[in-house]
């Protein structure tokens, strides 16, 4: 992969597959017009019976305008049989781990690119601890959510060991999902009749 | 949908597509062996270049044993062009909204079922505010993550208005992802050489 990236870099000035010139231009554009930095991401979810539901992802607001996709992305959710589902898709707390892994990885890749650090491979395994005493109201001392999440990265890059941990810190230091999950986010929930 | 559920209910004692007898049996089983409630969910993520990466979801630990799927679920992530990606998949912060919507919905459905409350339809729209001044290190006062998330449910159920808000509260009161996101989760991140 490294040789491909080096070839691509010559043509389009990319590092790690990221167009670093475009990233620098975005930063300059935001400095002259801060409104460019304001994004609103959206999904629409529909229940499909039991433990199954589907989200549709399409438009968002960003860079001062409404943005849309050529076609919407469809994301499914279900539960495994032991949690009373049909096992047609990953479950919500597994989707949360995917959001975290993907955001940390992209944050590492983008910010390493901005610093000229070439990365060859990144893998991660994530594990989260959940105690159903919370969800099932069996013990008020047990929280409903994850008690802890562990992320283990394996990174291949031509850097010394101490820089490997620095690269990992580019993820935790910038990732929107990591920040949201570790520090918490205000979430308002309202309901009306359909 | 309601008539189908009523027919299914006669055969297998389901409410809202949830096997409520199995849910009650799970509660009883946990009361006699608390270890049954301990779950560990896992994913494995692999970078595919630039803003693209893929998670594989398969095994987890729950109900005192290792559990696996018939086949793994594959979850993709990318970024739209305005965020320097190829737009092949929803982005990480959109996946986070899917995790939240799906978990709130399933929590509503399960806990309404346990109370014998029949729900006909649930839809939700979610929106989250993200200011790139955080991710791009342009303003240290701006957080990297979502500043706020708004969830709007529309629910069709044969209940009075005040119970509609009660039903919505079954989601916020039990959802593992909602609890994780609102209160925050300790996340450890380590890196080693690949």
Q: What is the pLDDT of residue B12?
A: 67
Q: What is the pLDDT of residue B11?
A: 60
Q: What percent of chain A has pLDDT over 70?
A: 94
Q: Which of A92, A75, A71 is nearest to A83 (CA)?
A: A92
Q: Are strands B38-47 and B60-62 parallel, antiparallel or unpaired?
A: antiparallel
Condensed to tens digits (0 to 9), the pLDDT of residues A51-94 reads: 999 999 999 999 999 999 999 999 999 999 999 999 999 999 99
How close A81 gets to chain B, by Cα (Å)?
A: 10
DSSP codes of every residue in A62-130: ETTEEE--SS-EEEEE---GGGTS--SS--HHHHHHHHHHHHHHHHHHHHHHHTT--EEEEEEEEEEEE
Q: pTM of the predicted model, to two decimals?
A: 0.94
In this complex, do A44 and B185 lie within 8 Å of one another by their Cβ atoms? no
Task: List chain A residues with CB under 8 Å of B107.
Answer: 135
Task: List chain B residues with CB under 8 Å of A69.
Answer: 80, 87
Q: Which of A179, A32, A169 is nearest to B140 (CA)?
A: A179
Q: Which of B18, B107, B118 is nearest to A91 (CA)?
A: B107
Q: What is the pLDDT of residue B6?
A: 54
Average pLDDT by consecutive 10-residue portion of chain B (194 residues)? 49 88 95 97 98 98 96 97 97 98 98 96 98 97 98 94 92 98 98 95
Q: Which of A60, A81, A176, A183 to mutate to test the interface with B (most CBs of B within 10 A)?
A: A176
Residue of A nearest to B64 (CA): A82
How close B117 gets to chain A, by Cα (Å)?
A: 13
How close B70 gets to chain A, by Cα (Å)?
A: 9
How many angstroms separate the Cα of A150 from the Cα of each of A16, B48, B188?
Answer: 25, 22, 5
Chains A, B: CB contacts within 8 A come to 477
Task: List chain A residues with CB under 8 Å of B58.
Answer: none
**CB within 8 A of B133, min separation 6: which ones?**
A30, A34, A37, B139, B142
**Whole-angstrom Cα distance, residue A144 to residue A1?**
42
């Amino acid at each position: 992969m490294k040789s491909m990236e080096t070839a691509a870099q010559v043509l389009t000035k990319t590092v790690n597959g990221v167009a670093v010139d475009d990233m620098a231009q975005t930063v300059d554009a935001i400095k002259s017009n801060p409104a460019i930095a304001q994004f609103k991401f959206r999904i629409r979810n529909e229940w499909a019976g039991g433990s199954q539901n589907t989200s549709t992802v399409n438009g968002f607001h960003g860079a001062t305008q409404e943005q849309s996709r050529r076609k919407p992305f469809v994301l499914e959710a279900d539960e495994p049989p032991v949690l009373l589902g049909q096992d047609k898709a990953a479950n919500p707390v597994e989707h949360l781990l995917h959001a975290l892994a993907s955001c940390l990885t992209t944050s590492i890749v983008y910010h390493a690119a901005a610093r000229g650090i070439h990365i060859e491979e990144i893998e991660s395994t994530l594990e989260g601890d959940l105690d159903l005493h919370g969800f099932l109201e069996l013990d008020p001392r047990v929280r409903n959510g994850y008690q802890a999440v562990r992320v283990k990265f394996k990174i291949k890059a031509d850097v010394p060991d101490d820089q490997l941990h620095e690269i990992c810190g580019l993820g935790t230091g910038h990732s929107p999902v990591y920040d949201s999950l570790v520090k918490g986010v205000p979430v308002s929930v309202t309901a009306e009749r359909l």
